[in-house]
Amino acid sequence: MPKQMWKPGTMLYPVPAVMVSCHNSVGAANIITVAWTGIVCSEPPMLYVSIRPERFSYDMIKNTGCFVVNLPTKHLAYALDFCGVKSGRDIDKFVHLRLTPEQSHEVSAPGIAECPVNIECRVKDILSLGSHDMFLAEIACVNVDESYIDRTGKLQLNKADLICYNHGEYRALAESLGHFGFSVRKKPEKPAKKS
């Protein structure tokens, strides 16, 4: 099937859709929706968020050196979108959306209690890239809602109804298509039939 060649653009989809919580030097908190985010290193565990310098949360994160990445569920889709289109300069998003700021363990920025996972981060570097600056951050700790941990201690995040961002839309994640390594896993041999 023929393909059209388009100009360079942000066509790597789907991407995570997260709520990043932060605060300023006097403790006023804000939430910004971020889709340009991901893991960059496993040891030490690090991630990045890319934010436009003109965004209200930009200076908060730059000045305090910390933020929390909160993973939203499908029940938080409205709040996720709202935090991306409304500025914290004009409205307290925690109050307006009735979200609960939760004290973090390792950083001063609050988490969002309604999110099943809160990833506390410390900024290690800021890279100016063009339209966005990338905040490279070390993951200080991860807080997980105990209701998603099974009896064996395994995190069952697939039950949290997480969402992603796909070319302008928030989408629910689909059913499992396999697990890491399933393509090379040896299948058990079937016993030979008795004659």
CATH number at residue 90: 2.30.110.10
Are 143 and 134 a contacting pair, CB within 8 Å? no
Residue 57 has pLDDT above 90, yes or no: yes
Q: What's the pLDDT score for residue 54?
A: 97
Pairing of strands 45-51, 18-23: unpaired
Phi and psi angles of residue 59, each rounded to the nearest 5 degrees, phi first: -65, -30
Residue 194 has pLDDT above 70, yes or no: no
Residue 41 has pLDDT above 90, yes or no: yes
Residue 105 has pLDDT above 90, yes or no: yes
Residue 113 structural domain: 15-172
Residue 179 has pLDDT above 90, yes or no: no
192 assigned to some structural domain: no
103 assigned to some structural domain: yes
* Average pLDDT of span 18-35: 96
111 assigned to some structural domain: yes
- Rounded Cα–Cα distance for residues 181 and 28 (Å): 45
161 assigned to some structural domain: yes
193 assigned to some structural domain: no
Residue 17 has pLDDT above 80, yes or no: yes
31 assigned to some structural domain: yes
What total number of domains does the chain contain?
Answer: 1
29 assigned to some structural domain: yes
Read off the pLDDT of residues 121-136 as tens digits, 9 standing for 90 and up. 999 999 999 999 999 9
Structure tokens belonging to residue 145:
């809602």
Q: What's the pLDDT score for residue 65?
A: 98
Q: What DSSP letter does each residue of 30-66 carry, written as one string? A: EEEEE-SEEEEEETTEEEEEEE-TTSHHHHHHHHH-E
192 band by pLDDT with thresholds 50, 70 and 90: low
Residue 166 has pLDDT above 70, yes or no: yes
pLDDT, greater one: 176 or 39 = 39
Q: What's the pLDDT score for residue 186?
A: 77
Q: HEC string of 3-34? A: CCCCCCCCCCCCEECEEEEEECCCCCEEEEEE
Alpha-carbon torsion angle 41, 159, 78, 122, nearest 10? -30
60 assigned to some structural domain: yes
For residue 136, give the nearest of 24, 61, 28 by alpha carbon: 61
